[in-house]
Structure 1
């Protein structure tokens, strides 16, 4: 395995890195502004980031004004910073995902350039950037791409330190960088930020019988750096909310991983099938992955440098598949940490077949078809926007006054506060007293769980149906949003002004003075004054 050419000197290497970084960022962000936020995920996470901006509280994530501890804050910090700089636009709400995809891509490029050479690094980066999972995940506003980038960068930094240690070269800076990146991973999505890198590096070193290297990667200064990055937020939240650590780690980590009752139950073969399907047709160029000779020098104490890197990528893919195939609940985004090492294998294993100009063109076309597929998905979502209420939120923004309360009936429309630029939480009307609220993993359970961390705010914001009409009568003008089929349950809506309907969701302007029921209440005579 060749080393990179450094003839251009340090300044040339930095120019290459900066040019590559600009190319990666431009490609990943090229279409990130086209389509509206998709609900529930994008509306939820971009909305939480917006709430940090509007409240000025950058420590406690809130969903509709209630403490929201499903995930840690790194995504909200990054996207919130972008929203502060660029305003409430979609690409800013997706900034954290773009950062994660860029981090993982650049980490793979730099690692490959150092250990495999410039040509291999460029080939690998090209394959990675054209993977549909990376391209779409990099512009989808949820936490999966951010933690995937952190995990990829952590694994490669620690592997870089390990290989340098084995060659008798200075390795501590890379080692400490790996620990810092693991801390960011824990701030991105919790324990998997260091569990998956630890699993990957541990298996990789054990398969190569590198016990001394394993011990060399255990660093007290590294642990201190990791804790300095990751721990302060968790400590601060536990000091503010007594039940935080139990809810975050026991409920949202261990119970979600080990028990049923959550959404998206899939069979154990789900993730291998997803990776294989979305790697076609590039995968058909890689028969050497099944060739014993390809893995020569990868195992045991006499493993070669080339075999060590190949084995690292294989173990990185396998660790992700193994870890996330265990729980019953499976989402496509969970497999994103496997995309970068798989792209490395696709680029490396296909190199032997693409030896003639004709085959190289066919291989390039196969790889490019993945990028075309990703662009087609983005284009389709741009043209078919039935997953978004952006139009309704924009209408509310244009006509809503700051002192007019907003009500959502039996549904929380995640993206509306973002597009309406609401400066205060909405009031959500539902039968919050029924045990069924906590039995399904949906928006009701999310908001009800959040309300338990701030019961005073929950009493103001989570209303039962019988409390809605008195609340409407207490304000001269209110706004109500609900799916159209719910209108018969609330007869007073017939006396309200239906402002706009989008995807069977209607926005009403409710004037208390025009409601017959308000005239019969003690405040009815003054509501419209």
Structure 2
């Protein structure tokens, strides 16, 4: 048994060249990042699959005052703890707008993660490397995507990175017990955000081995125990009151919420996942090639260098690199996998690459590889744009299905890629690729938002529905999607997110039969079998939304449909948006 937890060698000397990054550099790069990542905020609504759900949770908190137990349209939402919903609710309240506020937590999470990575890279390797590390993280494809997406993962990555930062400050630049405890608090917040905030603890075995070989500052058993106590204490700040509140409640829905959030969404979700089931090779073969772009192109040079540093037991490389590998292994062992789960590896990957970045930029073959990838993008986008504009049947069907015609946008992206190739040639291929990725994200956040928002957000369709029914008419939506409830301009009911579809329709028929003159149903046209009993000649065609055709049917058309009021629960969704807050 390695006794690194009880040994206390002298702290590692801090080289003289490790000096703090001047505040001016911090301000310039963070201001650039805030501008780059923040462009487009306010230009679109929350898009499915996850964004409308969290916006609905946040708005319901603001409207009902129920902050401790997140609700989704009146029904307790047990899939995630409430930290991200709290942050989104605060952002919407601060900005006074859903469109402005719902993306703010992800933006702040990205900027915080960037600041932590740059600061640690500066302390370990110096100012120049810190700037390159910041630019490397900022240009990483998955980082740019999630910073512009209102999913829970960017904020969770901030807390996970804070946990890793505290560990690495103590292990490589310590002793720094305060940073270790602050990192543990970050891990606790990460658990309250997405449950996997403990991921930095996967680096403990590597830390122990390096401390045993006197390559890192050891962690005392007492500090380890206190750190775990800090993690559990932060988690207990929400879990204990929640468990008491739900346990002493007479509402069986709250008891089910407690059991779901504490057990099903943790151990069962990991060990016996019921969705997103992927093969073991999903991450290395299907996610890393695009998520780690453009850093992934440097792996042929990074891997031998990492091996050399491993033989030298360079703790500055081994600790973050072990974190990357163990996070991949951890998520690969679960049958349920999503590409976004690897987002926390990017800050650690950048730290593991940081001292090699200046040398990588001098590798001609790496630039040739970057130019080749950029040429591939140029051909793909230019061909798709031109052929789509010419009416190629396959692309025309795709555009009709999604109600988007991006041909001019794609053609311009292809032409810009060609222009950057001519400018940079093979000698500066990586710089040209990074420049094109910046253009891609800027156009995505402006032109792309304007093109896709009408197809991804049902705002216009729900306004059309209220114009037909009147603002006081009630609307039922069996098998609902959150984006429709989020954009509702009239009272709506649903019948439980996880209720079987047949039971939902039976309950809907009974509800409509109570006062059919004032009640309507919103339903996809492919559900024609479930509503075959209705008089569909009275249905209003609302067109295509989210790749599906929709009907708006008056309650009087369901006179021949047998209902069952006990088949499913009935939830009244608070009217979430009004004209002021929607803009």
Query: 1:235, 1:62 → 2: CA distance?
Result: 19
Separation (CA, whole Å) in 2 of partners of 1:18 and 1:62 = 39
Distance 1:281 1:112, change over 3 A: closer
- Deviations along 1:219-271, one digit per CA (max 9) or x if unpaired, are 555445434432121112212323455322321121121125x2222221211
Query: Which residue in 2 is equivalent to 1:415?
Result: 483
SS of 2:552's partner is strand
Greater mean deviation of Cα atoms: 128-137 or 280-289: 280-289
Change beyond 3 A, Cα 1:145–1:421: farther
Tell me if 1:62 matches 2:71.
yes
Give the stretch that moved more between structures: 86-95 or 488-497: 488-497
User: Could you say which residue in structure 2 is the equivalent of 1:252?
Assistant: 265
Please, which moves more after superposition, 340-349 or 21-30? 340-349
Does 1:179 find its partner at 2:184? Answer: yes
User: Per the alignment, in what secondary structure is the counterpart of residue 214 of structure 1?
Assistant: coil
Q: Counterpart of 1:415 in 2: which secondary structure?
A: helix
Deviation at 1:92, TM superposition (A): 1.8
User: Do structure 1's residue 343 and structure 2's residue 355 form an aligned pair?
Assistant: no
Task: Tell me if structure 2 keeps the 8 A contact 1:314–1:341.
Answer: yes
- Once residues 296 and 66 of structure 1 are traced to their aligned partners in structure 2, the CA distance between those partners, rounded to angstroms, is 55
- C-alpha deviations, 1:110-135, integer Å up to 9, x for none? 11122211111111111111111001
Distance 1:466 1:318, change over 3 A: closer
Contact 2:170 / 2:217 at 8 angstroms: preserved in 1? no
Gaps of 5+ in 1: 7-11, 433-443, 449-461, 522-529
The secondary structure found in structure 2 opposite 1:327 is: coil
Q: Deviations over 1:423-442 (max 9, x none)?
A: x66223xxx8xxxxxxxxxx
CA deviation vs aligned residue, 1:399-442 (integer Å, no higher than 9, x gap): 77675322003x212112222266x66223xxx8xxxxxxxxxx
The counterpart of 2:236, out of the listed 227, 231, 237, is: 231
1:84 to 2:87 alignment = no
SS in 1 for 2:523: strand
Q: Comparing 362-371 with 181-190, which one deviates more in the overlay?
A: 362-371
Distance in 2, Cα, partners of 1:384 & 1:335: 26
Counterpart pick for 1:365 among 415, 432, 454:
432
- 1:481 is displaced (CA, Å) by 1.0
- Secondary structure, aligned partner of 1:328: coil
Matched with 2:460 is 391
Note if contact 1:103-1:150 (Cα within 8 Å) is conserved in structure 2: no
Distance 1:275 1:78 in 2: 29
**Distance change in 2, residues 1:225/1:327 (3 Å):** closer
In the other structure, the counterpart of 2:197 is 193
| Aligned partner of residue 28 in structure 1, secondary structure | helix
Structure 2 vs 1, CA of residues 156 and 338 (structure 1 numbering), >3 Å: closer, same or farther?
same
Alpha-carbon spacing, 1:252–1:515, altered in 2? closer, same or farther (3 Å) = closer
Residue 170 (structure 2) aligns with:
161
Partner in structure 1 of residue 245 of structure 2:
240
8 Å CA contact 1:320–1:335 kept in 2: the answer is yes
Partner of 1:491: 534
Alignment of 1:50-129 (within 5 A): 50-129=59-138
* Structure 2 CA distance for partners of 1:287 and 1:495, relative to 1, 3 Å: closer
Cα deviations by residue, 1:269-321 (Å, 9 ceiling, x for unpaired):
211222134434543345432325x5545467xx4xxx222112211211211
In 2 relative to 1, CA 490–240 (structure 1 residues): closer, same or farther, beyond 3 Å? farther
Q: Are residues 181 and 299 of structure 1, via their aligned partners in 2, closer, same or farther at CA, if it must alter by over 3 Å?
A: farther
Does the Cα contact within 8 Å between 1:484 and 1:505 map onto a contact in 2? yes
Q: Please list every run of 5 or more consecutive structure 2 residues that lacks an aligned counterpart in the other structure.
A: 1-14, 248-254, 365-423, 564-583
> 1:132–1:371: 8 Å Cα contact kept in structure 2?
no
How far apart are 1:509 and its partner, in Å? 6.7
The separation in 2 between residues aligned to 1:82 and 1:34, in whole angstroms, is 16
Q: Is the 8 A contact 2:476 2:492 kept in 1?
A: no
Give yes or no for the alignment of 1:320 onto 2:316.
no
Cα distance in 1 between the residues matched to 2:540 and 2:108: 43
- Once residues 397 and 158 of structure 1 are traced to their aligned partners in structure 2, the CA distance between those partners, rounded to angstroms, is 54
Pairing 1:202–2:205 present: yes
* Whole-Å separation in 1 of the counterparts to 2:356 and 2:532: 62
Matches within 5 A, 1:449-464: 463-464=504-505
- CA RMSD for the aligned pairs? 3.5
Q: Which residue of 1 aligns with 2:289?
A: 276
Deviation track 1:368-427 (CA, whole Å, cap 9, x = no partner) reads: 344445556665565345444232234456677675322003x212112222266x6622
Q: TM-score, normalised by structure 2?
A: 0.71
C-alpha distance in 2 between matches for 1:89 and 1:153: 28
